[in-house]
Amino acid sequence: MQTQLIESGKKSKAERLFEIANSTGLVRSGRFLWAKSLTVLNYHRVNQRPDQPDSDTFKPNISATPEEFARQMEYVSRWFNVISLRDLVDWLENQRSLPPHAALITFDDGYLDNYTVAFPILQKFHFPAVIFLTTGHIAKDTPFYWDLTAYCFYHTTRDEVDSPDGKKRHWENQRQLDDTVREWTESLKVLPNEEKQKWLTRLPDLLDVSVPEGFFRSLMMNWDQVRELNQKGIEFGGHTVTHPILTRVSLDQARNEIEGSRAEIEQQLGHPIFSFAYPNGMSADFNPGIENLVKSAGYKAAFTLLNGPTSLREAKAHPLTIRRIFISHKHTLPRFAALVSWVNRYRPG
Ligand SMILES: [Zn+2]
């Protein structure tokens, strides 16, 4: 889950510049200068636009509609060479080289629409991908806090609520409601786990909402679906058990989260896994102590949400903090084209 980089949907001056940069090819100029690069895309959910009135989805988690995702994959097929995680790990271990303009496609959390919507599109392009699973939410009716928050707010008839940050929040229209969901989630995110749980337990009552049994389980893939995708070329990585921000829990808890997700996935798949993605993934969400835990759990590559394509040199020097590009449903194709280009902070390293 990530809420950064969400910008206003209005067509801005910047958006028009992105359109020109894409249509004239400016955004791809001098490609040979950044051929030795790794572009890791990060998706969460691929689903219908969340701005319909009956949507009860946590909006920032919708990375693209199926149509947008297909367009983005078409763009990737034209300008990049998609690699698998296995390719990346083999390269990190000096077992192979990578093609120019290497790209890796990743998904976080393990939502069902990765299986039902994204996978058939990936198949059309013969693209591999990696899905990072939060194992405590797979095949269980345990909601992610942002999904529970969104469900309760989008089903309530109330129009105000107490917030974890101590403020009372009130909304009068859809936009204010969306803002409240985002603010409520953000203020929850920074709380110690116990306090977070307390607020989550109270929330349905605060908003006078009851959640149907099985609702949250049905948002996520189950283990049969995970195994089926794995047989069809999708790789899996760890994303903790309960999705805490690892720098906000004790090192012992962090170790359990990091090792626990790995052990469960390996047991379910029957083979080792090699990669990990930090929950939230920003610079405050991991540190050298956490990286050490990731390394000693046996992971060979780990991914952040620090933005931008990376040089191969940087990726090889820091395989446990590889950058990714967070994709939002608010990104038009021209903006996507800019995000995956040198414009987006590429440094030769
Ligand atoms: Zn996540």
Confidence of residue 10 (pLDDT cuts 50, 70, 90): low
The whole-number pLDDT of residue 121 equals: 98
The whole-number pLDDT of residue 40 equals: 98
Helices 193-206 and 174-189 cross at an angle (nearest 10°) of 150
CA 60 to ligand 1 center in whole angstroms? 12
CA 38 to ligand 1 center in whole angstroms? 21
Round the average pLDDT of the chain to a whole number and report it: 92
Confidence of residue 192 (pLDDT cuts 50, 70, 90): confident
CA 4 to ligand 1 center in whole angstroms? 13
129-175: pLDDT as tens digits: 999 999 999 999 999 999 999 999 999 999 999 988 888 999 999 99
Confidence of residue 284 (pLDDT cuts 50, 70, 90): very high
Q: How much of the chain is in helix, strand and coil states, percent to nearest 5? A: 45, 15, 40
CA 239 to ligand 1 center in whole angstroms? 7
CA 300 to ligand 1 center in whole angstroms? 19
Give exposure, 44-62, as e/b (b: 16+ Cβ within 10 Å).
bbbbbebeeeebebbbbbb
Q: Taking Cα atoms as reference points, which of 111, 19, 23 lies closest to residue 64?
A: 111
Q: What mean pLDDT is predicted for residues 49-59?
A: 78
CA 243 to ligand 1 center in whole angstroms? 6
Q: Specify the higher pLDDT residue, 49 or 314.
A: 314
1 pLDDT more than 80: no
Q: Which amino acid is at 238?
A: G
CA 156 to ligand 1 center in whole angstroms? 26
Look at 50-54, 93-97, 220-224, 313-317 and tell me which has the smallest mean pLDDT. Answer: 50-54
CA 31 to ligand 1 center in whole angstroms? 32
CA 143 to ligand 1 center in whole angstroms? 12
302-336: pLDDT as tens digits: 999 999 999 999 999 999 999 999 999 989 999 99
Q: Is 290 left (phi over 0), alpha (psi -120 to 50) or beta?
A: alpha
CA 149 to ligand 1 center in whole angstroms? 15
CA 134 to ligand 1 center in whole angstroms? 7
The whole-number pLDDT of residue 4 equals: 42
CA 20 to ligand 1 center in whole angstroms? 33
CA 280 to ligand 1 center in whole angstroms? 6
CA 126 to ligand 1 center in whole angstroms? 25
CA 281 to ligand 1 center in whole angstroms? 8
Question: How far is the CA of 285 from the CAs of 154, 250, 338, in angstroms?
Answer: 29, 13, 26
CA 127 to ligand 1 center in whole angstroms? 22
CA 242 to ligand 1 center in whole angstroms? 10
CA 261 to ligand 1 center in whole angstroms? 13
The whole-number pLDDT of residue 8 equals: 47
The whole-number pLDDT of residue 344 equals: 83
Confidence of residue 348 (pLDDT cuts 50, 70, 90): low
The whole-number pLDDT of residue 32 equals: 81
CA atoms within 13 A on the CB side of 178: 16
CA 270 to ligand 1 center in whole angstroms? 23
CA 33 to ligand 1 center in whole angstroms? 33
Q: Which domains does the chain have, with CATH numbers?
A: 13-141+218-339 (3.20.20.370), 145-206 (no CATH)
CA 195 to ligand 1 center in whole angstroms? 20
CA 2 to ligand 1 center in whole angstroms? 7
Q: Which amino acid is at 319?
A: P
The whole-number pLDDT of residue 294 equals: 98
CA dihedral 228, 321, 31, 122 (to 10 degrees): 10
The whole-number pLDDT of residue 3 equals: 42
13 pLDDT more than 60: yes
CA 275 to ligand 1 center in whole angstroms? 14
Give burial (CB, 10 Å; 0-12/13-18/19+) of 280.
buried
Confidence of residue 349 (pLDDT cuts 50, 70, 90): low
Tokens of 251: 């090192």
Report whether 344 contacts 31 (CB < 8 A): no
2 pLDDT more than 50: no
Bridge partners for 322 per DSSP: 303
Confidence of residue 237 (pLDDT cuts 50, 70, 90): very high
> What CA–CA distance (Å, rounded) separates 322 from 304?
6
CA 85 to ligand 1 center in whole angstroms? 18
pTM for the full model? 0.93
**Which phi and psi (to 5°) does residue 51 adopt?**
-95, 15
